[in-house]
A and B are shown apart, each in its own frame.
Chain A
């Protein structure tokens, strides 16, 4: 697989949200607007790239039976690091995403990539893989956030469509998250996945 393919495969073919169905909790919880979805995606991308690199570097010396706890500790370290950075420099986003930043630790995408890819490949390839999967995740979160924001509050990336009213609130709330993701998946299956 070429380096370029490593980056692009996460966008459609192995899209973590629509194809692999991983990381559903942040996908549903943080996509109340396109900006929130984008921020959550980028936060996950950050952890994914760093943890993939670190794990691919240490994997050869980690005894088999304790590899999961070691990986989790490594991931948790990067997540906590991200928490500090966000608290210091982007406090607004940190406040909005709240609990779901520490929960990146248990996001199955991160541990999944460590198990499926990083512990068998080199540091560079693992970084690219993390980047690709992270970008795919960011893309789906942004799209879902954008759709929910458009339907729910008739705005896009915080820009209100002029001359419009309140939108369908249900789409910003919990039920809308499930419904939107469900219907987006239907569209994805129908038009994109088959090609």
Chain B
């Protein structure tokens, strides 16, 4: 027997959704997988264990993690300030958080290079002390921090806004100091959203290309990121090699997505929202 729904059009809309998702998401992904395994396992293995590729993994995954962790600290602080205090210019600051979202990544890359290159403002200031930012791993780290920042702020901010003042009052009535209230009551309530934000920032940073290539200098073994290697391989007509790297990054993205969803489910179960 057919189940009757209150809302009409379930079959039709589901059909369209499936076709759409198939065309936009699934088919390209499966094509990538097919491409990867069209070649031999030997080639796949050889590609992903090439020392230059391994070095790029270290750069991409390592620096992305560091950048995401830094954002975990300062993003939470920014979210707290924006959610809790009212001061002149707050709305402008709040809008500015989204800039890394909205900016074409190539623009971000040029902008960062323009101030951190050795003969520019900040780069020039640090050069005499032997600190180089552009064309080093530090530069990549800064670019990845830049693009990951809004992810943490925008995941944590609504949770801070939702925290009821009663919780803090209750803690104060029970004798907690401001610091104890933060550490024992507020921080644990924010933790799932912080982890979610950091995971999202990490996922974004791993795949980031546009803002990094300008400031990175792309020195093999030193400042070469995995997405750049994919491009390089494509330019050398090494399609199976590019697909192999792409497949690997796809797997990492999937894992990050699963972790992120798991964290959100954990968050919801603890805060009673479904």
Task: Judge: A and B partners, yes or no.
Answer: no
